[in-house]
Structure 1
């Protein structure tokens, strides 16, 4: 039987932050079985983790396919490994992933720190008009791209919070997703939202990998290396960020919502 958990990441409150599924396995089944399990969990990402001597192998799946990097599901997996006794809380966890080795530490018994790659971006002159229409006609003050994602800055936090997407128009864009961000005038340094309908996630509640890009962008823009960020989706979530030379430290909390057992082998 497979141990299955659901965890809310980047929050200290139940039913906030970003929910992720976590499956603790003895070995990975085939990819189709993991996609089916992710589809059954019906969350933006489900993580599958296997012990490998003193380290762990970690893979992430949306309800449609495997992805290269996922922050909130990594945080959820580390939380489960520590709280359920799969790993000692005093020891860091090393995950081997499609994005290389990711080291995760537990700070003060509840705050989790993830060492992730810093993702760069580049400015572009134009973005598809249908993308702007799909975001409700926002007015970007900066347009950029990072890998398969667009990165758009707008003038105010209110504009970010007020976005109402047109899903059909976003699905016509050739992109993995789009990050929209603005400087915050409140207790946070910046806010953001992330939309990725192409991978089955119309809006992701809190996105660790997007903040690997946002960390680079806001560090360049503001000339500082430490941030407190808020992803202002309906559920919402907080991320504390520290920018290093080519790495980003993402810090957040997690809450277990439920645990159970898959009654048959995942194959």
Structure 2
């Protein structure tokens, strides 16, 4: 069996930026064990698979370790492949996922716009050991959705974070986002997910479904420019339209197209 595979740098207009994701179109679903083994072999933070189902696409995402409920950058990568490589002519792509229906369209500037459900972060006390695991002395606040959102005030600390990933993996959340007001951006973030097999994700679209509601309320604006990453960074344009959704826009760049032999 031969499967076509694409590697797309999501949230970047050029290769070597943003967040790389593998995308594999399928005619029909393979056994879950095979999907997981391919993702493990790819060794990227996410491998996306999709199968056409009438006018929509069934979409799933796998880290090297587990299947996840939502992944923004691999959704953008899958849509980019459909629009730019496979000639999909629909104005709006509809994906059936474990997080409900997700829609992706192209805007007038050529960016892909993802329509995701918003998640309202809930404030809670800092658990023992979290700041130590991140290498931080203090934090402004902690919130929780699927992730911990650690808010700090000093953007300079973001770049220098060197977490203890073993210690972080003990916390029962999908991942830990550390975020601060940015220079040239409304906010910047780094995201760590050792519990799901991704020590650091350069750009995490799904995390912005929680980050954008927080920052929109704090900054009093519903359109935000965001950057995520440490050594490798990507840029997002996000909007909170007030209907319980978050619009996340970004570019994509093809790095590789090939064949998987099974």
Q: Same fold (TM over 0.5)?
A: yes
Structure 1 partner of 2:171 = 173
Root-mean-square deviation (Å): 1.2
Q: Give the secondary-structure state (helix, strand or coil) at the position aligned to 1:209.
A: coil
How many angstroms does 1:261 deviate by?
A: 1.4
Q: Give the secondary-structure state (helix, strand or coil) at the position aligned to 2:207.
A: helix
Segments ≥4 residues shifted beyond 3 Å: none
Q: Is 1:160 aligned to residue 188 of structure 2?
A: no
**How far, CA to CA, are the matches of 1:263 and 1:178 in structure 2?**
36
Could you list the per-position Cα deviations for residues 116-148 of structure 1 after superposition, in whole angstroms to 9, with x for gaps in the alignment?
01011100023232x21111134110111113x
How many angstroms does 1:7 deviate by?
A: 0.4
Structure 2 partner of 1:6 = 7
Structure 2 partner of 1:74 = 75
Q: Give the secondary-structure state (helix, strand or coil) at the position aligned to 2:206.
A: helix
Q: Is 1:99 aligned to residue 96 of structure 2?
A: no
Structure 1 partner of 2:197 = 200
Structure 1 partner of 2:255 = 257
**How far, CA to CA, are the matches of 2:53 and 2:109 in structure 1?**
24
Structure 2 partner of 1:59 = 60
How many angstroms does 1:14 deviate by?
A: 0.7
Structure 2 partner of 1:118 = 118
Gaps of 5+ in 1: none
**How far, CA to CA, are the matches of 2:12 and 2:123 in structure 1?**
32
Q: Is 1:141 aligned to residue 140 of structure 2?
A: yes
Could you list the per-position Cα deviations for residues 82-135 of structure 1 after superposition, in whole angstroms to 9, with x for gaps in the alignment?
1122411x5211001011111100123631000001011100023232x21111
**How far, CA to CA, are the matches of 1:15 and 1:127 in structure 2?**
36
**How far, CA to CA, are the matches of 2:214 and 2:175 in structure 1?**
17
Q: Is 1:41 aligned to residue 42 of structure 2?
A: yes
Q: Give the secondary-structure state (helix, strand or coil) at the position aligned to 1:208.
A: coil
8 Å CA contact retained: 2:142, 2:150: yes
8 Å CA contact retained: 2:148, 2:175: yes
**How far, CA to CA, are the matches of 1:128 and 1:13 in structure 2?**
41
**How far, CA to CA, are the matches of 2:172 and 2:96 in structure 1?**
30
Q: TM-score, normalised by structure 2?
A: 0.96
Could you list the per-position Cα deviations for residues 22-44 of structure 1 after superposition, in whole angstroms to 9, with x for gaps in the alignment?
00000111111111010011000
**How far, CA to CA, are the matches of 2:40 and 2:194 in structure 1?**
15
How many angstroms does 1:196 deviate by?
A: 0.3
Structure 1 stretch displaced more, 200-209 or 168-177: 168-177
8 Å CA contact retained: 2:201, 2:229: no
Matches within 5 A, 1:209-224: 209-224=206-221
Gaps of 5+ in 2: none
8 Å CA contact retained: 2:50, 2:58: yes
Kindly tell me the number of residue pairs found equivalent between the two proteins: 260
